[in-house]
Amino acid sequence: MISASGIRDIFEPEAARGLFFALGHVIGKGLDGAVALGRDSRPSGQPLSTALLDGLVDSGLSPRYSGLCTVPV
């Protein structure tokens, strides 16, 4: 389901890992500058950010990872 606050679905680690790796790779191939990545505190945040980072690195980028980041409400 796509809503105003994002995409909602049941988290399936292996399927999500492949999707986020591919997403990182495509984003990385389209950029030639710096990339920074942070995540929220949901349990899925760590594996998804790791997969996205792996895709960015695989595309040739050297992303900066901030880890857990807060967002003002």
Find all residues with CB under 8 Å of 32, minimum gap 6, and list them. none
pLDDT digits (tens, 9 = 90+) for 19-47: 999 999 999 999 888 899 999 888 888 99
* pLDDT over 60 (residue 73): no
How would residue 10 be classed by pLDDT, with cut points 50, 70 and 90? confident
pLDDT of the residue at 43? 85
How would residue 1 be classed by pLDDT, with cut points 50, 70 and 90? low
Q: What is the mean pLDDT of residues 56-68?
A: 95
Whether the CA torsion 62, 5, 22, 69 is positive or negative: it is: positive
